[in-house]
Amino acid sequence: MAPDTRSQANPSGSELPGARAPVLTARNLCKSYGAGPALRGLTFSLQPGRVLGFLGPNGAGKTTTIRILTTMLEPTSGDFSVAGVSSKDPKKIRRKIGVLPEGLGFPNGVTSIEYLVYFGRLFGRSAAEARTVGLALLKDVGMQNRVDSAIGTFSHGMRQRLGIARALVNDPAVVFLDEPTLGLDPRGQTELLAMIRRIARERDAGVVLSSHLLPEIENICDDVVILNAGRVVAEGTVAEVTRRAKRALDNRVAARIRVPKDAVAGAATVLLSVPGVTGVMPNETDPGWLVVDHADPDGADARPEDRGMNPILTALIAADIPIIGLEVEGRRLQDVFLELTAEAIE
């Protein structure tokens, strides 16, 4: 089996040894609309077959960046390339990208296949070829049973699937999806995201996914770029970003441990004697549970013998206190996002 070089994320824009050539590279993108800078030097890259979550609070510069990368807007300075094509040639770039804008409108009177054939022809395919490609795409997005149905009869979820099929008509190297799950129910969201991830892998395309729903980014994306006030404030794989920020911001985590109700006081005494434990709080509304603050296993201040949950569990077992439940709270992407974007936007 060929080695999977996709695991070598490279959002910083520099070449990693053995990494595949990025499908998208943005170099020092800046944009001013007049009043003040909206983008202040954005650099990142995306490897083929990977999904990049593009995050930021309102006004951070996401739309501006996506508009630049999809050639709808020119940067004030900086440049980018898609599959080796320079942004100096926007016409060529347009042939290499697919876009699902937020709130895409559809003609209600045409069928899905007519819609896709129309766009296939715009990209220079023959009618027969456009139909073959269209049918394959409808199958890819799970719409093979609605080939000849009028778009006017489609649910929002079906329209989003059709929009993604449209974005793939030209076999793009990079696909931009702006809030693709907005307005979908939880099942629709999960299914659409799983489909996006599969499509990225199967087609070896890069996907840039902008969303405000951090749990979905955390679940589906390989890489993440967090923007704040026109700057990249975090970049890397989702795991790297949460881990790195965790180190920088605090070295403590909490665990919830459940013991028999009559053992709570004894457990608290035992736990407080464990090296690394900084606090124990019985949960009064949920008797039997204790919240235990302890040194983060990855934290720089944790001594090797204090790391992880093992000393905590060992101490309870040694004291003959049964452990009925255990939950370890790690930091989530949501926590990192809120901390890194807390400063007021100028």
Ligand X SMILES: Nc1ncnc2c1ncn2[C@@H]1O[C@H](COP(=O)(O)OP(=O)(O)OP(=O)(O)O)[C@@H](O)[C@H]1O
Residues in touch with ligand X (CB under 6 A) = 33, 38, 56, 58-64
Amino acid code (one letter) for 161: R
Cα gap 89→69, rounded to integer Å = 12
Cβ proximity of 265 and 287 under 8 Å: no
CB of 325 to ligand X, least distance (A): 39
CB of 33 to ligand X, least distance (A): 3
CB of 45 to ligand X, least distance (A): 20
Considering beta carbons, is residue 62 or 131 the nearer one to ligand X? 62
In order of 25, 170, 270, 281, 339, the CA distances from 263 in angstroms are 58, 65, 11, 14, 37
Cα gap 2→169, rounded to integer Å = 28
Considering beta carbons, is residue 71 or 170 the nearer one to ligand X? 71
**Alpha helices (runs of H) in 23-111, residue ranges in sequence order:** 62-69, 90-96
CB of 29 to ligand X, least distance (A): 12
Amino acid code (one letter) for 139: K
Beta pairing, strands 289-295 & 231-237: unpaired
Considering beta carbons, is residue 11 or 48 the nearer one to ligand X? 11
CB of 234 to ligand X, least distance (A): 15
* End-to-end Cα distance, the chain: 50
CB of 5 to ligand X, least distance (A): 31
Q: Can you read off the two tokens belonging to residue 95?
A: 């042939």
Considering beta carbons, is residue 204 or 339 the nearer one to ligand X? 339
Q: Can you read off the two tokens belonging to residue 235?
A: 């970049």
Considering beta carbons, is residue 33 or 127 the nearer one to ligand X? 33
Cβ proximity of 208 and 69 under 8 Å: yes
Considering beta carbons, is residue 48 or 56 the nearer one to ligand X? 56
